[in-house]
Amino acid sequence: MSRPHGLLPDWGTKPLPAPPPFTGRNVLRTIGPGIIGLGAAIGSGEWLLGPSVIVAYGPSLLWITTVAVLLQVLLNLEMARYTVYTGEPIISGFMRTWPGPGFWGCTYGALSFLQYGWPGWALASATATAALLLGRMPTEADAGLVVRLGYLTFGACFLITMLGKKVERTLEVAMWLMVGFVGAYLLLIDLTTVSWGTWSSVLAGFATVGRLPEDVDWALIGAFAAYSGMGGIGNAFFTNWMRDKGYGMGATVGYIPTALGDRVTLSPQGNVFEVNDDSLESWRNWWKFLNVDQWGVFGLGSLVGMGLMILLTLEYVTAGSSIDGWAVANLQASGIAAVHGPIFWYLTLIAGVWVLFSTQLALVDGLPRAITDMLWTSSAAVRRWRGGDVRAVYYSILAVFAVWGCVALNLAQPLTLIIIGANVAGFTFLLESLHTLVVNRKFLPPALRPPWWREASVLLCALFYGGFVVLALVQILG
């Protein structure tokens, strides 16, 4: 029986690889995309936008994070459904739909650039590094130093992508180290120095859906909602990392190796499997690992990371303080140092450097990776270039991103760059949520399609973020 394959060449057919037995050791070996996404999430939403919103409007808005993270995890799993079945990232599925790969490749490529082409996290990380070097919070007069440190931070991200054998695995190891250090530090500080009153207000904020204040900055609130978690096109990046990690049929198509690794053949199209009792059993077992990676690592980690950072901020930063300008990422360090001594100034700044660097690191890989996969899937000419070595495409795009990033570092203050990208992410959520519904209904066999309540949750994700986009546009347009 023929199967619909859309506007790209048909998939191959191979057996679905069985996952390893579901044991604790194998779980630790198999999860990975979730920690990369968490490393990106805690630097954007948790360390910067979350504190900016909560200091301005209070912890009663933390319910937005709860709703956002739940909806993002459900969306991630539905995008992963296509990847586990075909071995292709979800954007390849988008490109199979009308009007075709050229249109959707340009659309999602542009959205990827508009969201992540502004290296605000490198600049924010550089503000913390500048504070360490200066012994004080940087000001407008220190902008030149911050930008130069931003160049170094941005460059360090590119160097890391060249290490190891597989880019995805290199990022995974780096994120475990960075997230582990930052999480342990924040947990220790919050458990030993933060008052019970602050704890109770934060916990209540996560659990209680409240009204939104009047006269809010909807662009800031929309950015907070988008980056409470990964954010926009970044959620689609999960499926690129899942492909390279070898989830489901991803194990049959290859991956993007590092510059120092061995050459690997990356198939431009995926493979699908025949649905039978054996493949359905493997399918269900793969979902056990997917659920741990997304619910246990990314979802729970995003909520905990936001909570730990907000506890520190509310305890030591005065309500109504402005967390922006060239002192971004440093107010928490100033606040805790004023109470407990200068050692906490340095420790908190070091944590800030690492967490913001981790976000920029994930995105330095994610943006070129997504564009590489789009070009690799849709263009035979690109695949023939340099003898079909996908590394040539990936690192060429990485180099262009490096040049542009050095220009963009001079365009605005760090939080401004991040808010621009976050509001693009809100629109992207609307588009990719609806597109995921279409792809899964069109290309997945009936036995693998999601139940109605999962489709409803993806539709709710589109409405949730679409609402913030509309409110921000109405406010901006007067």
Q: What is the mean pLDDT of each run of 10 residues along the chain (478 residues)?
A: 83 96 94 91 76 88 96 98 98 96 95 83 76 81 84 86 87 90 94 96 92 83 90 94 96 92 90 97 97 97 94 86 58 86 90 82 88 93 89 92 81 71 91 98 96 98 95 86
Q: Are 429 and 465 in contact (CB under 8 A)?
A: yes
Q: Are 302 and 228 in contact (CB under 8 A)?
A: yes
First-to-last alpha carbon distance for the chain, in angstroms, is 56
Closest to 89 in 3D by CA, of 321, 333, 361, 432? 432
DSSP 166-221: BHHHHHHHHHHHHHHHHHHHHHHHHHHHS-HHHHHHHHHHHH---PPPTT--HHHH
Neighbours of 109 (CB within 10 A): 17
Cα–Cα distance, 378 to 102 (Å, whole number): 8
Query: What sign does the CA torsion over 168, 257, 153, 113 have?
Result: negative
Domain range list for the chain: 12-476
Give the contacts of 88 (CB within 8 A, at least 6 positions apart). Answer: 11, 82, 243, 253, 269, 270, 377
Cα–Cα distance, 225 to 262 (Å, whole number): 40
Q: Is the pTM of this model over 0.75?
A: yes
pLDDT at 272: 97
Closest to 73 in 3D by CA, of 302, 249, 308? 302
pLDDT at 438: 98
pLDDT at 327: 54
- Tallying the residues shown for the chain, one arrives at 478
Q: Which residue has the tokens 């319910």?
A: 63
Cα–Cα distance, 330 to 324 (Å, whole number): 10
Closest to 298 in 3D by CA, of 477, 54, 76, 93? 76
Q: Containing H/E element for 102?
A: helix 101-116
> Could you say which of 3.40.190.10, 3.90.470.10, 2.60.40.2250, 1.20.1740.10 is the CATH number of the domain covering 12-476?
1.20.1740.10
Cα–Cα distance, 119 to 23 (Å, whole number): 39
pLDDT at 328: 53
Closest to 238 in 3D by CA, of 322, 165, 299? 299
Q: What is the separation of C-alpha 37 from the centre of its chain, rounded to a whole number of angstroms? A: 4
